[in-house]
Amino acid sequence: MTNNHKGILFACLTAFLWGFLAILLKLAVQKVEPQTIVWFRFTVAFGILLVWNLARTPSELKILVRPPLTLVLAALGLGWNYIGFMQAVNYTTPSNAQLIIQLGPVLLAFAGLVFFREKLRRIQIIGFIVASVGFLGFYSEQLSQMMGQKNTYNMGVLFAISAAVSWVIYAIMQKKLVRTYSTGTLNLFLFGLPAIAYFPFANFDNFNGLTFGWWVLLLFLGLNTLIAYGSLSLALKYTQANKVSMILVMNPTITFTTMAILTYLQVSWIDGEHFTMLSIIGALTILSGAVMVVKQAPKTK
């Protein structure tokens, strides 16, 4: 298997894990509060990574003592991204949250103008306009379907947008840091600081009486953090960033398809989605625009 194939495979694994993440979060929030879920995810990921580093590369632990300021900012960005996305799923639906969060990669392309002196291509500018039109159309149509729940839906949208913006902050800082540190070292702090920060807000009473199945779900959510970001790092190591971005941008299709099937089957364990032809067109427009934005690596001045 070539490095390019390895990179594509790891990117697909990340997209697969993120594609089902919103659905599983919506399921988990039925039993556990959002901030507790976020704390648990970071704690599981950090705990496993800490044990690994203690056994293999204990010298890497020194970053926990004297982290650079950019790493602290990256950790804060990632920490808010998790709670923002969690609350977006809580207040709206998995498909809504997953689609709106795609604003992150779109904004990151424009952030490159300011922080990395990157030059946008014409297709990226067109993609931004297409994605913006799609966002407005999708938002308007979904809002019209929220009978008596417009305030709740708007709250979820705001959380999703804040999660996208905070992810851009994380990504910018991360892009600077990987020039000096390994991704494994960075992830140790990126998972550790939010785990500590969310500890005072975690409600441990939520864990009382959980059955084996609910514990498996929570553990999977924690492992999702570790595996998805680990796979993303390997994907970027083995193949071009624009190829990885194109694959990741398509992960909402997994969420949409799965939720469409569950809505059609009328399952009792998760609320169905409000799909209309206009909302589907809006979603496809957003994805098309996002793909255009990340399609080609920007030129450097």
pLDDT at 142: 81
Residue 74 and residue 81 in contact, taking contact as beta carbons nearer than 8 Å: no
Sign of torsion, CA 145 146 150 153?
A: negative
Domain residues of the chain, as ranges?
3-300
pLDDT at 143: 79
As a whole number of angstroms, the distance between CA 18 and CA 252 comes to: 8
Residue 65 and residue 251 in contact, taking contact as beta carbons nearer than 8 Å: no
Phi, psi of 280 (to 5 degrees): -65, -40
Q: Examine the pLDDT at 261 and tell me if it is beyond 60.
A: yes
Q: Which residue has the higher pLDDT, 221 or 252?
A: 221
174 is written with which tokens? 């991360």
The pLDDT of 198-219, averaged and rounded, is: 95
Q: Examine the pLDDT at 299 and tell me if it is beyond 50.
A: no
Q: Examine the pLDDT at 274 and tell me if it is beyond 80.
A: no
Phi, psi of 119 (to 5 degrees): -110, 125
Q: At 233, is the pLDDT very low, low, confident or very high (cuts 50, 70, 90)?
A: confident
pLDDT at 256: 87
pLDDT at 301: 39
pLDDT tens-digit profile of 244-256? Answer: 777 887 788 889 8
Those residues whose C-beta lies under 8 Å from the C-beta of residue 40, and which sit 6 or more positions away, are: 32, 202, 218, 221, 222
Q: At 196, is the pLDDT very low, low, confident or very high (cuts 50, 70, 90)?
A: very high
Residue 270 and residue 23 in contact, taking contact as beta carbons nearer than 8 Å: yes
Residue 65 CB neighbour total at 10 angstroms: 6
Amino acid in position 215: W
Residue 209 CB neighbour total at 10 angstroms: 8
Annotate 14-45 with b (16+ C-beta within 10 A) or e (fewer). Answer: bbebbbbbbbbbbbbbebbbbbbbbbbbbbbb
Q: Which residue has the higher pLDDT, 88 or 143?
A: 88
